[in-house]
């Protein structure tokens, strides 16, 4: 089995909607679901092969994406850009009184009720609020991803803005307020792909690069992300790390590292602990006696972009649920089977990261919570090379934000000229051009040649050429403007295009952003796409009036 690990950094907030909130509220998961990551890889697979549809009957396609032979694990937050976190166990509890008086420097300890069901130090137990953690021997770091709260107002399609009265019955009320709670931009997550066939890993590795779009509301500034740091995991990999150790008393602690979908004998999704026990006994070929369980359930859904429909909701065993077993009889556990079950998982939708579990990951009665590190202390612990890397990321992000502001302002200015003079090309022509641009932007190194080829094709067809020549940007046709803009890749012309001066380029500790050719091409394509998008909006507004 080959294991591919890769990281995803959110360039924009990500709205990966869970089944929470009211109808006018969308609340994102705390992580990137494996189903979302699988969908992103499917999109890259289809673009790489110029496919319009995916044939699930083909064996390579079925093996890569559908039958569980290849499994796309959830993307969990990275702690300090170092280590992939995992869900907090539901058997972990803290004393309520100790939590009320804890400080950042002296947090309250955690007690594992899976090891000791009645610890003397706890009077009023309460669960852990942080959803993720990293575990090392007898200490734990608690991690909570950052979230962004945004308020959006529905616009009337005809007027292009929110209005107080109702629009047509078909459109429903205009001006409704929507609340989005998304994962904040700038965070990094680490995900894994488990491939039972070596050739599948070779097919997937070239696809794991460049930009992708994740989740919903992509046209509203959500979902753009970057895949990077792709590598193969070493031999002997375990999702929880370390070696699997079986205690002398035969106790087996099973923890779910992701949500799990199990069915009972009647075919209904269930969270009954007896069904979990029966499934484990069948997979391991041994009899188990359940001592106690810490379990929580919740409904999950999904969305099929091919159908354009939501998936049926199902009841899952929530990640972090813990089951404590004792082996019946004098036999012993087969470590090979335990490791194989960890790799394969149990239940349904395993290709989407469901059904992940680990055996005997946490075995300490008491865990010390590592104190929060202040920004000053963190800076003191960073080596020179690490600080340089952090500085490079910071100046790159600072420059990108400044550049995006200039890009939007310039795009609106050009779109006013474009939409204010004559008619634009047809929506179909502009959509084709924008589709090509957005496909290139998803690549690590976008190539403007495909856009140039599209414009060359437009010139060869008289009806299409007339549409692009009638549309004017100042004194030039849209066709001439597009060709000229694509050629402004040289640094001096590129800076002039966006009005960038030396004061706009940030510096931090002598580190400056790397404005290479690939970076310049990317923002030229972003600029053209923004101009076309703004012009289309103005066109629709005029048609509505």
**What pLDDT sits at residue 166?**
47
* C-alpha closest to that of 86 among 165, 189, 13, 169: 189
Does position 172 have pLDDT exceeding 50, yes or no? no
Distance CA 375, CA 378 (A): 5
pLDDT tier at 170 (50, 70, 90 boundaries)?
very low
**Among 155-164, 315-324, 501-510, the least confident range:** 155-164
C-alpha dist (Å) from residue 69 to 2, 353, 370: 11, 12, 38
Q: Is the pTM of this model over 0.95?
A: no
* C-alpha closest to that of 489 among 531, 534, 452: 452
**What pLDDT sits at residue 385?**
54
Instruction: For 458-492, write each residue's pLDDT tens digit.
Output: 889 888 888 888 888 877 888 899 999 999 889 88
**Among 300-314, 334-348, 467-481, the least confident range:** 300-314
SS3 146: coil
Distance CA 457, CA 111 (A): 68
Q: What is the DSSP string of 191-251?
A: EEEEESSHHHHHHHGGGS-EEEE-SS-GGGT--EEEEEEEEEPPTT--TT-S-----TT-E
Q: What is the CA radius of gyration of the chain?
A: 27
Distance CA 319, CA 317 (A): 7
Mean pLDDT of 14-41: 84
Report the chain's mean pLDDT, rounded to a whole number.
83
Mean pLDDT of 352-374: 87
The burial of 66, by beta-carbon neighbours within 10 Å (0-12 exposed, 13-18 middle, 19 or more buried), is given as: middle
Could you tell me the maximum CA-CA distance found in the chain, to the nearest angstrom?
89
pLDDT tier at 345 (50, 70, 90 boundaries)?
very high
Percent of the chain with pLDDT over 70: 87
Does position 151 have pLDDT exceeding 90, yes or no? no
Percent of the chain with pLDDT over 90: 30
Structural contact between residues 356 and 256, judged by C-beta atoms closer than 8 angstroms = yes
Q: Between 472 and 36, whose confidence is greater?
A: 36
Instruction: For 518-531, write each residue's pLDDT tens digit.
Output: 888 988 998 898 88
Structural contact between residues 483 and 457, judged by C-beta atoms closer than 8 angstroms = no
Instruction: For 411-424, write each residue's pLDDT tens digit.
Output: 888 887 776 655 78
Give the count of beta carbons closer than 10 Å to the beta carbon of residue 526. Answer: 19
Mean pLDDT of 371-390: 53
CB half-sphere exposure, 250, CA atoms < 13 A? 14
Mean pLDDT of 45-62: 86
Q: Between 387 and 279, whose confidence is greater?
A: 279
Mean pLDDT of 66-95: 90
**What pLDDT sits at residue 230?**
92
Structural contact between residues 112 and 324, judged by C-beta atoms closer than 8 angstroms = no
**What pLDDT sits at residue 430?**
86
Q: What is the DSSP string of 48-95?
A: HTT-SS--TTSHHHHHHHTSSSEEE--BEEEETTTEE-EEPPTTEEEE
SS3 104: coil
**What pLDDT sits at residue 98?**
87
pLDDT tier at 343 (50, 70, 90 boundaries)?
very high
Q: What is the DSSP string of 271-332?
A: --HHHHHHHHHHHHTS-EEEEEEE--EEEE--EETTTTEEPPPEEEEPTT-EEEEEE-SS--
Instruction: For 216-234, write each residue's pLDDT tens digit.
Output: 877 777 888 989 989 998 8
Distance CA 487, CA 448 (A): 9
Structure tokens at 321: 């649920």
What backbone phi and psi angles, to 5 degrees, belong to 231?
-160, 160
Between the two ends of the chain, the Cα-to-Cα distance in Å is 60
């Amino acid at each position: 089995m080959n294991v591919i690990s890769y990281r995803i950094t959110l360039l924009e907030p990500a709205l990966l909607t869970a089944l929470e909130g009211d109808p006018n509220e969308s609340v994102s998961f705390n992580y990137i679901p494996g189903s979302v990551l699988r969908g992103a890889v499917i999109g890259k697979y289809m673009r790489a092969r110029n496919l319009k549809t995916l044939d699930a009957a083909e064996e390579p396609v079925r093996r890569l994406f559908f039958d569980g032979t290849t499994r796309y694990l959830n993307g969990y937050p990275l702690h300090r850009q170092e280590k992939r976190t995992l869900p907090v166990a539901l058997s972990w509890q803290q004393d309520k009184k100790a939590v009320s008086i804890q400080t950042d420097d002296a947090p309250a300890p955690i007690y594992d009720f899976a090891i000791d069901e009645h610890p003397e130090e706890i009077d009023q137990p309460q669960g852990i609020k942080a959803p993720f953690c990293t575990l090392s021997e007898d200490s734990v770091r608690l991690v909570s991803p950052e979230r962004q709260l945004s308020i959006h107002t529905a616009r009337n399609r005809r007027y292009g803005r929110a209005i107080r009265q109702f629009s047509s019955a078909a459109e429903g009320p205009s001006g409704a307020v929507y609340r989005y709670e998304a994962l904040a931009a700038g965070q990094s997550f680490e995900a894994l792909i488990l491939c039972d066939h070596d050739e599948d890993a070779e097919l997937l590795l070239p696809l794991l690069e460049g930009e992708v779009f994740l989740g919903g509301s992509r046209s509203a500034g959500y979902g753009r992300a970057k895949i990077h740091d792709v590598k193969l995991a070493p031999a002997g990999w375990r999702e929880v790390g370390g070696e699997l150790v079986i205690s002398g008393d035969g106790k087996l602690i099973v923890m779910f590292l992701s949500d799990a979908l199990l069915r009972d004998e009647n075919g209904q999704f269930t969270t009954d602990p007896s069904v979990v026990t029966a499934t484990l006994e069948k997979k391991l070929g041994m009899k188990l006696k359940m001592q106690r369980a810490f379990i929580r359930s919740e409904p999950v859904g999904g969305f099929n972009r091919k159908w354009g429909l939501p998936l049926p909701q199902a009841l899952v065993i929530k990640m972090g649920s813990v089951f404590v077993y004792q082996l019946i009889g004098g036999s012993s556990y087969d470590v090979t089977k335990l490791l194989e079950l960890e790799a394969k998982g149990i239940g349904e939708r395993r290709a989407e990261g469901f059904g992940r579990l680990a055996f005997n990951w946490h075995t300490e009665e008491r865990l010390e919570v590592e104190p929060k590190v202040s920004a000053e202390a963190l800076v003191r612990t960073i080596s020179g090379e690490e600080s340089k890397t952090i500085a490079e990321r910071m100046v790159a992000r600072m420059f990108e934000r400044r550049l995006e502001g200039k890009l939007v302002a310039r795009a609106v200015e050009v779109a006013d000229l474009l939409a204010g003079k004559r008619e634009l090309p047809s929506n179909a022509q502009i959509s084709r051009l924008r589709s090509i641009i957005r496909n290139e932007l998803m690549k690590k190194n976008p190539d403007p040649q495909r856009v140039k080829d599209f414009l060359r094709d437009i010139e060869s067809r008289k009806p299409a050429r007339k549409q692009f020549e009638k549309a004017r940007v100042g004194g030039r046709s849209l066709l001439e403007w597009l060709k000229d803009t694509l050629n402004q890749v040289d640094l001096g012309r590129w800076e002039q295009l966006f009005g960038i001066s030396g004061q706009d380029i940030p510096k931090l500790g002598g580190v400056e952003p790397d404005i290479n050719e690939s970076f310049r091409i990317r923002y030229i394509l972003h600029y053209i796409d923004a101009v076309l998008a703004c012009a289309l909006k103005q066109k629709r507004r005029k048609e509505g009036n």
